[in-house]
Amino acid sequence: MTNETEFINALLSKKHRERAFKQLLDRYQERLYWHIRKLVHTHENANDVLQNTFVRIYRSLPNFKQNSSLHTWMYKIAYNESLRFLEKHSKELRVSLDEVNEKHLENLFQDSYFNANEVQVKLQKVLHELADKERKVFQMKYYDDLKFREIAEILTIKEGTIKTLYYKAAKYVEDKMVQVMVTEHKI
Amino acid sequence: MDTFNYPEQDKKEGALETQRLKMHSKELGLEVPENYFEISKQEILNKIGTEKEPKTKLISLQNKKVLFSIAASIALLFTITIFQMKEGLFKSQEKKVRKIALLEENNDLINSLFVEDSDDFVEDYLNTKVLEDL
């Protein structure tokens, strides 16, 4: 039995559940928070989604089939919770998901937990010039350090397509940021 | 099983992860309130504490969608049953009509056996109709 299987059994046992879940929080809370924050932008939004994500993880543990690793499964739940949150907002505001994204990005620039210089603001804007899928793939690979295979599982897209999306996005961000650096710092 | 631990990270891996998480503030300018993760952890544990056991999902009968689905299923079942009954009725009626037709056909055949064959009718017909036309 692998360590992960033992750990999952602990999460499911009455006796060890509480301690195991604390360990899970210690290991994953911050990672999942940043994963969510990049999808929903502001701290307040990310806090709501993070809480819902861990409650859902806890509730869904008995149904975890172990077809993927616990790590990938939790990222997928966090991703789905973020989407659910954005869709709820899009319904409430009666606007498209793209428009909700734009609105949240505007809110981010007003957020008290956004403290960026000009270059950082520019990077945020460049990231939002990417197509939705390209941006998600780029962020999951570059900032969350997920494997291509894991991103493919989370987004349910073929691994080959994920690689193409990532390299295209990375090239775009690199070119744009080089331009910014040249103009800003007159390199 | 009394001892368990989440699979350990080695120190190098852990340090790399910490560095990467810091990229969010360094590169993207994203920040969190002080002690946020400790406070949030406690809030999550409190929420889960009130749940006690991981839940299996109960479907509320007060949910309009669920009620609508149940009503639609009953209506569909009812329609199918009625349709099948009608179809059965039509089939049995069709069988009866076929039997009657067959009986009548047989009667004609039987009756024809009792009619005497006569050449007079043919002769009359030839005389009056065909020969007159010539």
pLDDT tens digits along A168-186: 999 999 999 998 888 876 5
Q: Which residues of B touch A115 (CB under 8 A)?
A: 25, 29, 31
Residue B24 near chain A (CB below 8 Å):
yes
Task: Decide: helix, strand or coil at residue B54.
Answer: coil
Q: How is chain A split into domains, by residue range?
A: 1-115, 116-187
Of A23 and B106, more confident: A23
Q: What is the DSSP letter of B134?
A: -
Interface probe for A, chosen from B3, B5, B6 (most Cβ of A below 10 Å), is B6
Which of B1, B28, B43 lies at the smallest CB-CB distance from A9? Answer: B1
Q: Say whether A24 sits in a helix, a strand or coil.
A: helix
Mean pLDDT of B27-34: 93
Longest dimension (CA), chain B: 125
Judging contacts by C-beta atoms under 8 Å, the chain B residues touching residue A51 are 40, 43-44, 47
Select from A30, A51, A114 the Cβ nearest to the Cβ of B44. A51
Element (H, E) at A118: helix A118-129
Compute the mean pLDDT over every residue in chain B, rounded to the nearest whole number. 71
Cβ-based contacts of A143 with chain B (< 8 Å):
20, 23-24, 28
Q: Which of B1, B5, B54 sits opposite A59 (nearest CB)?
A: B54
Select the more confidently predicted residue: B3 or B51: B51
Q: Out of A90-94, A112-116, B10-14, B120-124, pick the least confident.
A: B120-124
CB A146 within 8 A of CB A153: no
- The pLDDT assigned to B134 comes to 47
* Nearest-angstrom CA–CA distance, B78 and B72: 10
What are the DSSP calls for A81-110, one per residue?
A: HHHHHHHHHHHHHT--HHHHHHHHHHHHHH
Cβ neighbour number for residue A99 with a 10 Å cutoff: 13
* CATH, range A1-115: 1.10.1740.10
| Residue B32 forms contact with A (CB below 8 Å) | yes
B43 pLDDT exceeds 90?
yes
Local structure of residue B83 (DSSP, 8 states): H
Contact, A139 vs B54, CB < 8 A?
Answer: no
B47-63 pLDDT, tens digit per residue, is 988 776 665 555 555 66
Distance from CA of A63 to the nearest CA of B (A): 9
Q: Which amino acid is at A165?
A: L
Task: Report the C-alpha gap between A93 and A95 in whole angstroms.
Answer: 5
pLDDT at A130: 95
Tell me the average pLDDT across A8-35: 91
- Test B45 with A22 for CB contact under 8 angstroms: yes
Whether the Cβ atoms of residue A154 and residue A143 lie closer than 8 Å to each other: no
> In angstroms, how far is CA A158 from the centroid of its own chain?
18
Confidence of residue B25 (pLDDT cuts 50, 70, 90): confident
Count other Cβ atoms within 10 Å, centred on residue A118. Answer: 9
SS3 B27: helix
pLDDT at B119: 58
Alpha carbon distance A149, A166 (integer Å): 12
Q: How far is CA A166 from CA A34, A127, A147, A162, B117, in A?
A: 19, 12, 11, 6, 99
Q: What is the mean pLDDT of residues B94-102?
A: 72
Distances (CA, A) of B11 to B16, B17, B108: 9, 10, 104
Q: Which candidate in B34, B42, B44 is best for mutational testing of the A interface (most A CBs within 10 A)?
A: B44
Interface check for B15 against chain A (CB to CB < 8 A): the answer is no
pLDDT digits (tens, 9 = 90+) for A132-153: 999 999 999 999 999 999 999 9
Say if B10 is an interface residue toward chain A (CB within 8 Å). no
CA distance to partner chain A, nearest, from residue B76 (Å)? 32
User: For the segment A60-72, what is each residue's pLDDT rounded down to a tens digit?
Assistant: 998 888 889 999 9
Q: Does domain A116-187 have CATH number 1.20.1250.20?
A: no
Residues counted in chain B: 134
Distance between CA atoms of residues B33 and A47, nearest Å:
11
**Taking the mean position of all CA atoms in its chain, how far away is CA A21?**
21
Q: B30 touching A, CB under 8 A? A: yes
List the beta bridge partners of residue B30: A114
